[in-house]
Amino acid sequence: MAAGPGRALALTSRYIRFGPFQVDQHRQEVSRNGTRLKLQGKVYQVLLALIEKQGEVVTRDELRFRLWPADTHVNYDANVNTTVNKLRQALGDSSDKPLYIETIPRKGYCLVVQPEFADAPLAVTPPPPQASTNGKPHAETAGSAKTDVWITLGIIGLILAGMLLGAGITKLWIHQFAPVTDQLPFLMFVPGLLTYLR
């Protein structure tokens, strides 16, 4: 691999930031908005390979040579796929709508965001919301907000319905048993009458 200025920075800088993620190369840790992610060794190595060649294709062969020694006998294709998928899952990314890692068919993978390099921790800012081709936010974000509102309204409606049902049952119960208390003197008279009739 040829060493360019981006690769030199990636190799010598302690901190690397992209989107809400920060890589601490000394500790070999990745965090999202300050919360540490659990990345296994090979998953972390794939991330570094992509950062070192940001904007360029990291071929499947490059990943294979980086992750497994030459004398290792594994199914490289399946293991590369699994490792990249684990990285995507940790980053909350998908192959269908990539935010960070794009699949280049029959070639490899590419980091599609520009990382920042520093020797001190960087302030992490979340990426801006993804816009569709017409410049408006994705319907998924707006749809999930609408869904949350409807769920909240549904819960409030159920609580109110339960309160009204409880009040109705209470009122019915009072009216049902109120006449019994009005007839109490008569009911007290009945046992004495039955005793007299015997």
Q: How would you list the strands of the sheet with 15-18, edge to edge?
A: 35-37, 29-32, 21-24, 15-18, 116-118
Mean pLDDT for back-to-back runs of 10 residues, the chain (198 residues): 49 85 89 86 91 91 84 76 91 90 92 88 58 50 70 89 87 71 54 58
Would you kindly state where each structural domain of the chain is located, as residue ranges? 5-126, 141-197
Neighbours of 64 (CB within 10 A): 16
pLDDT value of position 3: 45
pLDDT value of position 135: 52
- Which of the following CATH numbers is that of domain 5-126: 3.30.1330.60, 1.10.10.10, 2.40.110.10, 3.30.1330.20? 1.10.10.10
Q: Which residues of 118-154 are buried (b: 16+ CB within 10 A; e: fewer)?
A: eeeeeeeeeeeeeeeeeeeeeeeeeeeeeeeeeeeee
Amino acid at 29: E
Interatomic CA distance for residues 163 and 160, integer angstroms: 5
User: Going by DSSP bridges, is the β-strand pair 35-37/21-24 parallel, antiparallel, or unpaired?
Assistant: unpaired
Lookup: tokens for 25? 């190369």
Q: Is the dihedral of CA 190, 191, 195, 198 positive or negative?
A: positive
